[in-house]
Amino acid sequence: MDGTKGLKTYASGDLVGYKIAFGNSGSAVAAMVSIKDYLPQNLNYVSSQLYINSSYSTGQYLSGGAFVDAYSGITLPSGGSGYLLLTGRVTSAYSDQTTNFVYIYLNNQFIAYDDVAYTFTPPNKHLKITKTVDNSDVNVGDEVTFILRVLNDGEVPMTGFDVLDTFPTDDFTFISQNSSGFTFERKGRMFSWGNYQGVLQPKDFIEIKFTIKLTKVGEYTNWACMTHEDFPDWKSDRQNRENCDPADVNVREKLFCKMTSPSNDSVYYVDGNNKAKVKITCGSSNGASATIKINC
């Protein structure tokens, strides 16, 4: 049995072809010959053609039971020969090497077998995380929501990954988080979503959202990182790696102004000398203030 053109290494989605040659070297006619081919677990049946003495055989293709592909009812004259062309497609299974076995039976009695191995190139596994914020320029006391998106940009379903987000300062108040399929835990400024129990299909994504109230002026770069046992070099403390993504927030002082005189909040008042007066006090969230008096 020979692999297609001697090719021994295949990737997910590739077609694999086998040529299974056989012959009758005896002196009598061989009737009720069966060919059974046990396709590897990484291979799905696509097609087959059987030739006896250069013509298509009347043998019957079967599928079921322990074998995947078989022809039965073949009759071979003395010196007769034939071959089976069998094609399968590599699936997204997880095996480095797979062997295909073929068996020849005569009157339901096993008489010979052969095998050929091929190397399977595992399908691409990959996850990508992106982080955004709903408002990157806010006042002290405002709430912001961070969105962490995990995309499966590989070829196989993924599960069991973790997401970690560490805010760079303790000057915030935690409000809420929204996620599904994770075990959520918060310790101070560290947020973790562990061991995703769902199944993230290729090209699909999931989102994690959490909201905090910012309580101090500053410019903050907040990193989110992702880890998975299949990627041992993905570390949550290595923020320049492909498994991490940042979001920036600028928190400024909250300014306000209010009219402090007259007390009835009218736009102005007139004193006894028929002069209009108004007093406005402005301040910020850090306690600083200033008062403006206007005489007209």
Distances (CA, A) of 89 to 17, 161, 206, 296: 9, 29, 30, 89
**Class of domain 127-252 (CATH, top level):** mainly beta
CA distance 283 to 285: 7
pLDDT at 119 over 70: no
Minimum mean pLDDT among 87-91, 166-170, 276-280: which range?
Answer: 276-280
Please give the pLDDT value at position 4. Answer: 42
| From 25-34, 138-147, 243-252, the region with the lowest mean pLDDT | 25-34
- The pLDDT-based confidence of 123 (bands split at 50, 70, 90) is low
* Class of 2-121 in CATH: mainly beta
**Residue 247 neighbours by CB under 8 Å, 6+ apart:** 131, 132, 133, 136, 146, 221, 222, 224
Q: Please report, rounded to a whole number, the percentage of residues in the chain having pLDDT higher than 90.
A: 36
Q: pLDDT for 205-230, tens place per residue?
A: 999 999 999 999 999 999 999 999 88
Q: Give me the chain's average pLDDT, please.
A: 78
Residue 253 has pLDDT above 80, yes or no: yes
User: pLDDT at position 258, please?
Assistant: 61
Q: What is the pLDDT of residue 101?
A: 75
Specify whether the backbone of 281 is left (phi greater than 0), alpha (psi in -120 to 50) or beta: beta
- Does 72 or 68 have the greater pLDDT score? 72
**Minimum mean pLDDT among 41-45, 104-108, 202-206, 292-296: which range?**
292-296
All structural domains of the chain with their residue ranges: 2-121, 127-252, 255-295
